[in-house]
Chains A and B, each alone.
Chain A
């Protein structure tokens, strides 16, 4: 398991691994928004939590099809499936590696990008908390989508269509935590729901991903 995790992290860092791609995409989205909606700071401050969450979500989506497709193309997935590692463990490790290379950098970079959107000062902490709680769910749900579409040519688009609706609850509650944090309101309920969704997906989805992957490998 640890071998698989360290291999995936090493592959992400090496040439063509796509590390930083999501981060650069996130930066571009955030920079483009003021061009689109105008530079009025009050408006930007109001939409900043939502834009930051949406940008993080899309940046995460960008790299989902790499989670399993690369291993499927070069045959490693067949070999991993016949190795002593349980399939549930393989997909969990893949999701973790995706989060470490995509989700975690987004969480850490979000405050910097918050400045670009004039996010109110109390919102920075809660933005980081909401992303830290929510992005693991994005990776786990994305791995499930990747398992569903592995082996399909041009599966990336289908993957987006399958996964985006499943991201809705995380987006709603994540952006709500960030918004209420920025406006200094009580945020216990959306925070608990966000954490609940993440825990639920981490607990259940690896089994679903492993099951569909086994069917897809036949």
Chain B
């Protein structure tokens, strides 16, 4: 068990969006979060990543095992592709960035400033960051935005290789990733009941 969420309620901007979410991830497993816009997929991922606490319930993960990839890729436009990846490799205490460059066909772009990349190329750089972190559990928020079909296949094979190596992935997405082995979790059933503002102070937080 690398990640376990039990009975978690999460809130966005002080308003509960999901309640009673339970999920478990074992090594080698991928779980795809589904649900309409605004259901709280991003909020759930941010909660699991530890950026915000759950309203109730628990999130348990092995320490230092999670890596989060948000909508924004955290790319510095004036650094080259290689410098961007090397920075994250150093932050996470790893060294080798060549597998990550290869997995997303970034080798020919390694010396290019990241600001000169197309949207899809930036996304590939953002996803390559996951490989240099060496973390076991990937938390991915709409990882395939602005990727073409070929890059989506690249991403799917990177996830598959990660799972085969004993990793796990929690993916929020709307499109079909071509990951037949991934389990699906539809969050529509966990939608939180609308809450009347009973807490006066809470209305201002």
Q: Is the CB of A11 within 8 A of B72?
A: no
Q: Is the CB of B90 within 8 A of A3?
A: yes
Q: Is the CB of A74 within 8 A of B75?
A: yes
Q: Is the CB of A11 within 8 A of B66?
A: no
CB < 8 Å: which of B78, B79, B91 contacts A83? B91
In the complex, chain A residues whose CB is within 8 Å of the CB of B66: 82
* Count of inter-chain pairs, beta carbons less than 8 A: 71
Q: What is the bound-complex CA distance between A209 and B58, given in angstroms?
A: 27
**Interface residue range, chain B:** 20 to 34
Q: What is the bound-complex CA distance between A78 and B129, given in angstroms?
A: 14
Instruction: Tell me the A1-42 residues at the B interface (CB within 8 Å).
Output: 2-4, 7, 10-11, 14-17
Q: Contacts A10-B83, A82-B68, A84-B64; is A76 near B74 (CB within 8 Å)?
A: yes
Q: What is the bound-complex CA distance between A84 and B136, given in angstroms?
A: 14
Of chain A, the residue at the smallest CB distance from B126 is A75
B67 within 8 A of partner (CB): yes
Chain B interface, >50% SS class: loop
Instruction: Tell me the B74-88 residues at the A interface (CB within 8 Å).
Output: 74-79, 83, 87-88
CB < 8 Å: which of B67, B72, B79 contacts A14? B79
Interface centre among A14, A15, A75, A218 (most CB of B within 10 A): A218
CB < 8 Å: which of A3, A17, A78, A82 contacts B72? A78
In the complex, chain A residues whose CB is within 8 Å of the CB of B36: none
| A18 CB → nearest B CB, Å | 11
Of chain A, the residue at the smallest CB distance from B13 is A218
CB < 8 Å: which of B64, B72, B91, B92 contacts A74? B72
A116 within 8 A of partner (CB): no
Q: Contacts A74-B73, A75-B73, A78-B74; is A218 near B68 (CB within 8 Å)?
A: no
CB < 8 Å: which of A11, A80, A82 contacts B50? A82
| B56 CB → nearest A CB, Å | 16
Q: Is the CB of A74 within 8 A of B87?
A: no
Q: What is the bound-complex CA distance between A73 and B77, given in angstroms?
A: 12
Of chain A, the residue at the smallest CB distance from B114 is A74
In the complex, chain A residues whose CB is within 8 Å of the CB of B68: 78-79, 82
Q: What is the bound-complex CA distance between A79 and B69, given in angstroms?
A: 7
CB < 8 Å: which of A4, A14, A80 contacts B78? A14
B70 within 8 A of partner (CB): yes
Q: Is the CB of B92 within 8 A of A7?
A: no
Of chain A, the residue at the smallest CB distance from B90 is A3
B194 within 8 A of partner (CB): no
Interface centre among A14, A78, A79 (most CB of B within 10 A): A79
Q: Is the CB of A84 within 8 A of B78?
A: no
B52 within 8 A of partner (CB): yes
| B89 CB → nearest A CB, Å | 8
Q: Is the CB of A82 within 8 A of B51?
A: yes
Q: Is the CB of B76 within 8 A of A7?
A: yes
| A88 CB → nearest B CB, Å | 15
B93 within 8 A of partner (CB): yes
Q: Is the CB of B78 within 8 A of A15?
A: yes
CB < 8 Å: which of B51, B77, B92 contacts A81? B51
In the complex, chain A residues whose CB is within 8 Å of the CB of B51: 78, 81-82, 217-218
Instruction: Tell me the B128-155 residues at the A interface (CB within 8 Å).
Output: 129
Q: Contacts A82-B49, A82-B66; is A11 near B91 (CB within 8 Å)?
A: no
Given contacts A10-B83, A17-B78, A78-B46, 5 further A-B contacts (CB under 8 A): A7-B76, A11-B79, A14-B78, A16-B78, A78-B72
24 pairs of residues in contact across A and B, judged by CB atoms under 8 Å: A3-B87, A7-B79, A7-B83, A7-B87, A10-B83, A11-B76, A11-B78, A14-B78, A14-B79, A15-B78, A17-B78, A74-B73, A74-B76, A75-B72, A75-B73, A78-B46, A78-B74, A79-B68, A79-B69, A81-B51, A82-B66, A82-B67, A84-B92, A85-B91
Q: Residues of A with Cβ closer than 8 Å to B?
A: 2-4, 7, 10-11, 14-17, 71, 73-85, 217-218
